[in-house]
Amino acid sequence: MLRFHSDLERTVRLHADDHVVGVSGPYLEEGGEWRPELLWHCGTVATMVVLLSDPQLDSEWCAREWGVFEERLRRFRPNGGAPHPLLPLVWRPLKVPLPRAVRKRQRLDWVEPVGHADRGVLDLMYTSPDDYRALCFRVGGLVARAAATPLPPLSTSEAESVEPAWKVRARADGAARKEDFTAGLDHSAPWETRVAHVLSRVPALDEEHLWRAFLSRLGELRGGRAQNPLLWPVTEPAFERASRLVEHLSHQHHASDTIAWLSLAVRETTGVDGAADALALLIPDPDTEGSLDP
């Protein structure tokens, strides 16, 4: 995602004669308060390019970010008119129907190259470099046009009161899919391996901004000891990344504290309660030193 953001920023500047300001991406201050930071970005950015994927659509915070930006449109551009600043774009192929709030907005499927919505931007990035650059150039033009007509901001306090644009667990197309986060788990393995197994099965943690939010919240729970995202990049395979993170934490904290913090961070940043519950079952019993999982 960071590469796409960088490439898109360059094309926006090309369309805006290099005078564009305020281009921002999914960057969070390490150890900072990620919730108000995200709300502030959603309440002030000139345009929002939404990268659609199943994990994003199953994220309460994605739904909240969409809701905040749409509230600005409702308040300040009730009749439309100006170039539209809310631009949905398929990041990975979608396996489930879109929420109603997304379906009613014009997606960028019509932007060349033909068929990119079926493959997603990520696929184009690695398999069709020319098509990917062409897509960035065209989307950059849409962003520059929309940003030329400022959209008034929404204060953080107002943004906090906005409801998510859809309910993750009761979307219009049915309840969110249930997943067994312990499937294939070796219950005789060390607790570090079992915890890494569960973490690696949370697709939302493969999304750059959610992974950073997860690490930021984990740092808060550890007493402000921030986790540098560069040490655990999302480009690393999920299980290896999770294993290294858990091993790092295990050298500094008791197993019960480590697992409890990971469970809470997963619940609060991804909304995947099933994974959080599966992690909680791995917390060792203080009397028997055994976990509650089978």
pLDDT bracket for residue 54 (50, 70, 90): confident
The reply to whether 154 and 8 lie within a common domain is yes
Assess whether pLDDT exceeds 80 at residue 181. yes
- pLDDT for res 203: 82
Residues 198 and 248 in one domain: yes
Residue 181 counted as domain residue: no
CA–CA gap between residue 217 and residue 88 (Å, rounded): 27
Domain co-membership, 99 together with 7: yes
Is the pLDDT score of 207 beyond 80?
A: no
Out of 106, 141, 160, a domain closes at 160
Tell me, yes or no, whether 202 and 85 share the same domain.
no
170 domain-assigned: no
**Over residues 264-269, mean pLDDT:** 91
**CA-based R_g, the chain, Å:** 20
287 in a domain, yes or no?
no
The confidence score (pLDDT) of residue 30 equals 52
Instruction: List the domain range (segments joined by +) for residue 243.
Output: 191-280
Query: What is each CA distance from 263 to 82, 102, 138, 217, 281, in whole angstroms?
Result: 44, 30, 41, 11, 10
Are residues 8 and 154 both part of a single domain?
A: yes
| Higher per-residue pLDDT: 170 or 42 | 42
Do residues 141 and 20 share a domain? yes
Residues 212, 122 share a domain? no
Percent share of the chain, pLDDT over 90? 31
The end-to-end CA distance of the chain, in Å, is 38
Q: Same domain for 196 and 273?
A: yes
Q: Is 167 exposed, middle or buried (0-12, 13-18, 19+ CB in 10 A)?
A: middle
Quick: pLDDT tens for 183-206.
Answer: 888 989 999 999 999 999 998 888
Say if residues 94 and 180 touch (Cβ distance below 8 Å).
no
| 132 and 200 within one domain | no
Residue 293 pLDDT > 60? no
pTM: 0.57
- CA 8, CA 252: separation in Å to the nearest integer? 40
In this structure, what token pair is assigned to residue 225?
């000891």
User: What is the total count of domains within the chain?
Assistant: 2
Q: Identify whether residues 155 and 244 lie together within a single domain.
A: no
The dihedrals phi and psi of 22, each to the nearest 5 degrees, come to 80, 15
- 65 inside domain: yes
User: Hey, is 90 helix, strand or coil?
Assistant: strand
- Examine residue 177 and state whether it is found in any structural domain, yes or no: no
For 230-260, write each residue's pLDDT tens digit: 888 887 888 999 999 999 999 999 999 999 9
In the prediction, which pLDDT does 150 show?
80
When pLDDT is averaged across residues 1-19 and rounded to a whole number, the result is 80
Is residue 172 in some structural domain?
Answer: no
Q: CA-CA distance, 229 to 212, in Å (whole number)? A: 6
